[in-house]
Amino acid sequence: MTDHVLVTDDGAVRTVRMNRPEKKNALTSAMYDAMAAALEGAGGTSPVRCVLITGVAGTFTAGNDLQDFLKAAMGGEGLGSSVIRFLHALARCERPLVAAVEGNAVGLGTTMMLHCDYAVAASDARFQTPFVSLGLVPEAASTLIAPALMGHRRAFELLVMGKALNGEEAKACGLVNAVAPAGQVEAEALKAAQRIASLPAEAVAASRALMRGAPDAVVARMDEEAAEFKRRLVSPEAKVAFEAFLARKK
């Protein structure tokens, strides 16, 4: 476990908090494993009835940690086993997922919303997926879920063209449920999580399962995207895009 992810249970609500503010909550392999374990541990006979995912210091997540990402890329790992574990945990999580988003939600910070049952964002939150601009492809089964949620054209704009969305725009396309002022987002999301947790647990689980369907198709798309992601990492397009990106970071 890493102190960059804090997992706390308050009654029937589990809070999973990304806690690396000095790096804008950029996600490391250890953080992915810790978050996956928190989701996996909320199933079965666990008293947890809802999971809230949030960040700290006005930042949800800046996406993948650059050093971890480059290490996985150069090592031929693709997304990496820790990321895949977390993605599968999202798809197979047995409890409702609620998100509270302030600040930047980059890459998986955005595609994670597609697996949440309820999400609250700050009006000035920023959702963005830079995959294609880096010569890569989207992940988290976003190529399956996003078009179904918001239509092909909006999904194309978000996932391929990389258009950034603020909180209101994210709500308008169905990526989040509600918008709250900065500083009140987590409180509003917690209210929703507590409300969900207070409902009859078996009825919630059955209703959610009927709405979401079996996770197999979602997991299969995740794996398909991951395979293409791995191929794209060694493509000439990705090489040029990463060289340009790293030059801007210097």
Best CA proximity match to 165, nearest among 208, 205, 119: 119
Pairwise CA distance, residues 123 & 125, whole Å: 6
Q: Are strands 5-10 and 13-18 parallel, antiparallel or unpaired?
A: antiparallel
> What is the DSSP pairing of strand 104-106 with strand 97-101?
unpaired
- For 65-79, 102-116, 200-214, which range has the lowest pLDDT when averaged over its residues? 65-79
Judge whether 107 lies within some domain. yes
Does 119 score more than 60 pLDDT?
Answer: yes
Range of the domain at 30: 5-183
Q: For residue 230, tell me if it sits in a domain.
A: no
Number of Cβ within a 10 Å radius of residue 191 = 12
What pLDDT is recorded for position 110? 98
DSSP class of residue 3?
Answer: T
Strands (E), 37-80: 50-54
Mean pLDDT of the chain: 95
Residues whose CB falls within 8 Å of the CB of residue 229, separated by 6 or more in sequence, listed in order:
78, 79, 136, 137, 139
Name residue, tokens 């999971």.
51
Percent of the chain at pLDDT exceeding 70: 98
**Residue 184, pLDDT above cutoff 70:** yes
> Residue 244 has what pLDDT?
86
The count of structural domains within the chain is 1
pLDDT value for 250? 65
| Res. 1 pLDDT band, cuts 50 70 90 | low
Does 126 fall in a domain? yes
Predicted confidence at residue 144, as pLDDT, reads 98
Phi, psi of 101 (to 5 degrees): -120, 120
Q: Is residue 220 part of a domain?
A: no
The CATH number linked to 45 is 3.90.226.10
Q: Is 243's pLDDT higher than 90? A: no
- Tell me if 190 is assigned to some domain: no
Please check whether residue 240 lies inside any domain of the structure. Answer: no
Beta strands in the chain (DSSP E): 5-10, 13-18, 50-54, 97-101, 104-106, 118-122, 126-128, 178-180
What end-to-end distance do the CA atoms of the chain give, in Å?
Answer: 32
Q: Shortest CA distance to 77 belongs to which of 234, 222, 184? A: 234
Window from 128-132, 171-175, 234-238 with minimum mean pLDDT: 234-238
pLDDT(150) > 80? yes
